[in-house]
Structure 1
Amino acid sequence: MALWDALVRILVGSILVFFGVEKGGVFVIATFVGVVLILTAITGFCLIYKIAGISSKEEPAQA
């Protein structure tokens, strides 16, 4: 997982967790999604990326 990908996940995850804690109700789902985003950023592993066969890492330039 690329650094920019992890930073975006942490930012969006934090916002979702904040709304989930502050608003409650249906935003409890947002809290769950936010926690998952933060955990995937910390571990560097995303199951959806693995299943889809994609990566946000840059490929090394070939000479």
Structure 2
Amino acid sequence: MKNESGLDRIIRVVLAVIFFILGAYIFTGVLSVVAYVLAVVMLFTAMTGFCLGYKLFGINTDNK
């Protein structure tokens, strides 16, 4: 069950790339790990089209 629109998914991929770059080149230590985790979560939700946070709050940006 998808609850993300195409635009929402594109934004998540862009954010995942940004978090990955921040984790690799800008942050160190714990902040780097947090950035990597956020990147993985954003990429996973973009690939599946499903966001648990959206489900919990009843948000659905998918227009289908």
User: Does residue 21 of structure 1 match 2:38?
Assistant: no
Higher relative contact order structure (alpha carbons within 8 Å, sequence separation ≥ 6): 2
TM-score normalised per structure 1: 0.82
How many angstroms does 1:27 deviate by? Answer: 2.2
Q: Residues of 2 paired with 1:28 and 1:48: CA distance?
A: 21
Which one has the largest radius of gyration?
A: 1
Per the normalisation by structure 2, the TM-score is 0.81
Percent of aligned pairs with the same residue?
34
| Aligned counterpart in structure 1 of residue 10 of structure 2, from 1, 7, 12 | 7
- Specify which of 56, 59, 64 is matched with residue 51 of structure 1: 56
Shift of 1:12: 0.5
